[in-house]
Structure 1
């Protein structure tokens, strides 16, 4: 595995070339490899070996990436935990994964589990350190837990074959080279940050700058200071950046070649505003943890179709099927299926869930999409988010697109609320741009020309923020529960 690898010990020959930095450390490829070996020796001394699970409970910092790589040095598996989790949430993942060692800032969960303080990580291997046999493509590499929007979170098993394939595919699509410099602002416990912003640039000989807690002012300062060539973010971050961009220093964004948007759909209006602000292409992509992060993306150089998430990435295939599993013609709606070497090995210890999700080698995404005649994919909605109003199927994303066309709308979410007569009706939650005074009544009038009567929200709530799950996606299940609970209250009961 010498061609296009991310293994630190195989890249040490790059010497003093910059590899990874954060707010505390700045490591060359040689220094990064030394740190990885040091921590690998330390973990081996704690009994970690092939197939064991090593967990990190850390905010964004270089040591998280070092620990992942050190686990792989021992043919162990890494499972990063959201540092914002409660003790109960963290213990669920640690227990379910069978974590043997936890690297973090403070002990968490079962006190019998081995804990290693991040500040006590070794920085250089001893003279006696003899590295074990290297990992193979058949070894599991990552165990990433789904957000758990439908039941308890499940551990997604990704192997080194998945990660290497994705890295090579993404590097080809985005045309990465040694001059690639990723600014990492997304959480490192998620597969997007690990694969898109860390492993893939390293495979291409580039560098990674890991930032701490995201803020708008910090972002523009970091771009001006570090001179990255790209970054990856979610729509909410782009909305914040374009709403507070008055103080961008001249030339601060000149190093950027492009930016990536994923994890959730972005409106055409926000996409256009963002491209005007940054002066570079914002390429929208699509994927699932179960398919190693991304399966489709618009090209940086080439035909970009706004409103789509682009064609399949190199080496992956996408098809659209009806309820019976039959492929539908171009332009028709159906469930999005994905195949290729990026598809996961399965869910940890959940064979039934795995069999339901991977059928005949195709990953069932649960998303409704349309492929056009050029193979560009448009995501219509989640199958489970679909609203059935009086027997008519309504896709919330269509309503959200209409709402987002109003220049005062920062972001929005539409969910189905129970209705005694119609079964379900659409209800909208809207966040306004700062310093705007858009009202729900004004927005109701605004969408009338864009939506037929059955698709218009029965209620529009102006809110300060939308709830989010641990990976930053809008928590629609939570919004549905909220609306259902409110409607279940007796007449005259107080609503909050």
Structure 2
């Protein structure tokens, strides 16, 4: 199916049925179509057409969803931008994606020379109807994610990818028209867009966009809106599980919740389900695979400690160091294949070829399959840090630290943390005859890095450890931090 015409289909089949809502706006299917047509005409008037890129630097709100469908009706591409990014980071994404338009929150300002549209000026009434573009090969999303080099790359997902992934999600999660999804995760993540918006809307379900997550008010939202499912990261579930024992909300509407983006302990999953009465189904995926690749069954045997079975329509295998598949119980690199695998990295053919071979996507993650085919993750071959579900790549932070004139070299590691899963810890070595000002380094990080990427602590060392071939020995640094905490 084409998402450029999904709103038309919903308006025809169920005109007065609920579509999408937030704390300020609630739209029926007919009203959603009218908003989308109005913004489609507005984008056309701004010169946006097939192949153009529209950047959305927005918080979670109904207008984000309207803009998704409006851009796709024009044959344009959406690149979501984290609103918390610094202007330096935003400019990098706008430049790499060649964005023609940046949509921003009311009261904020644009970045660079890219044309800007304030959400306050978004059209609400249809000016004219413009025929939608229907091209499965058209680029739908550019999701920016960093690689091991720390250089952000645009993951190219076309409409065929979204069609495949949402069909897989529908079948794996067993969602239908009677469901209501509560959107918690940010819409600048592919998970928020695909799992919490596109999949439910595809099957005739409705979406409620929650306000910023607050563990003290979250269950009030559940009781008010009565969702049947939602998706979140382990940090959120940890916060909810830590609420006082006298917090006993009515969760009878919730059939299940999805746990993803970072590993969760089997103990957390079990404890949460026992307390709140609905299952957490842990899954695994990545942006390059349009979000999900495995999932513990909603109906069937769930195995805490695993990330479940492959989504319907996807293949998964474990390969050894020689690149050949290995059997159950043997750990190796996880590879996936299916119509959900990305088209590639924007403008990076060599990096694309390095991760996609004969349709198989190298994930960079290490795991094994148990005797029943459930995937168990045991580590990451990449150095990626996952803090509260946010992916952090050390090289990007190391580059910021190393740009200080007093810093000779920097090393960044992730260290286990009970609340966030992992936190960022940095080590720096001074240039000869120079003194490092840690306060100045922290100020540099505040200027150039989003809050979750900033180091929790910066250690100054006279010399950073190296291995036999002269590379930074990050394992030794992790051991050092571990020993210091004992």
| TM-score between the two structures when normalised by the length of structure 1 | 0.78
Correspondence list, 1:71-82, <5 A:
71-82=71-82
User: 1:184 corresponds to which residue?
Assistant: 183
User: 1:102 corresponds to which residue?
Assistant: 102
Contact 2:4-2:132 at 8 Å conserved across structures:
no
Contact 2:179-2:228 at 8 Å conserved across structures:
yes
Tell me how far apart the structure 2 counterparts of residues 427 and 316 of structure 1 sit (CA, whole Å).
31
Structure 1: runs of 5 or more not aligned = 387-395, 398-412, 416-423, 434-466
Tell me how far apart the structure 1 counterparts of residues 254 and 356 of structure 2 sit (CA, whole Å).
38
Equivalenced residues, count = 415
Asked if 1:213 is matched to 2:200, the reply is: no
User: 2:417 corresponds to which residue?
Assistant: 430
| TM-score between the two structures when normalised by the length of structure 2 | 0.80
Tell me how far apart the structure 2 counterparts of residues 332 and 470 of structure 1 sit (CA, whole Å).
39
Change (3 A) 1:301 1:26: same
User: 1:392 corresponds to which residue?
Assistant: none
User: 1:451 corresponds to which residue?
Assistant: none
User: 2:153 corresponds to which residue?
Assistant: 154
* Greater relative contact order (Cα < 8 A, sep 6+): 2
Change (3 A) 1:55 1:327: same
Contact 1:91-1:108 at 8 Å conserved across structures:
no
Deviations 1:45-104 (A, max 9, x none): 000000000111011101111111110010000001000011111111111111101111
Contact 1:234-1:263 at 8 Å conserved across structures:
yes
Structure 2: runs of 5 or more not aligned = 387-391, 395-410, 421-445, 466-483
Tell me how far apart the structure 2 counterparts of residues 432 and 82 of structure 1 sit (CA, whole Å).
22
Tell me how far apart the structure 1 counterparts of residues 117 and 324 of structure 2 sit (CA, whole Å).
51
Change (3 A) 1:99 1:245: farther
User: 1:460 corresponds to which residue?
Assistant: none
Tell me how far apart the structure 1 counterparts of residues 464 and 342 of structure 2 sit (CA, whole Å).
43
Contact 2:86-2:450 at 8 Å conserved across structures:
no
Change (3 A) 1:94 1:247: farther
Contact 2:269-2:280 at 8 Å conserved across structures:
yes
User: 1:119 corresponds to which residue?
Assistant: 120
User: 2:68 corresponds to which residue?
Assistant: 68
Asked if 1:322 is matched to 2:320, the reply is: yes
Change (3 A) 1:233 1:72: same
Deviations 1:184-212 (A, max 9, x none): 11101100000000000001100111012
RMSD: 3.0
Tell me how far apart the structure 1 counterparts of residues 450 and 253 of structure 2 sit (CA, whole Å).
28
Tell me how far apart the structure 1 counterparts of residues 148 and 242 of structure 2 sit (CA, whole Å).
29
User: 1:40 corresponds to which residue?
Assistant: 40
Deviations 1:418-472 (A, max 9, x none): xxxxxx9x99543379xxxxxxxxxxxxxxxxxxxxxxxxxxxxxxxxx9x9999
Contact 1:317-1:339 at 8 Å conserved across structures:
yes
Tell me how far apart the structure 2 counterparts of residues 302 and 471 of structure 1 sit (CA, whole Å).
40
Deviations 1:367-416 (A, max 9, x none): 00101222110111101349xxxxxxxxx99xxxxxxxxxxxxxxx9x9x
CA positional deviation for 1:150 = 3.5
Change (3 A) 1:56 1:219: same
Change (3 A) 1:432 1:166: closer
Q: Secondary structure at the match of 1:146?
A: strand
Q: Which 4+ runs in 1 deviate beyond 3 A?
A: 147-150, 245-250, 426-433, 469-472, 485-490
CA positional deviation for 1:270 = 1.1
Q: Secondary structure at the match of 1:170?
A: helix
Contact 1:59-1:212 at 8 Å conserved across structures:
no
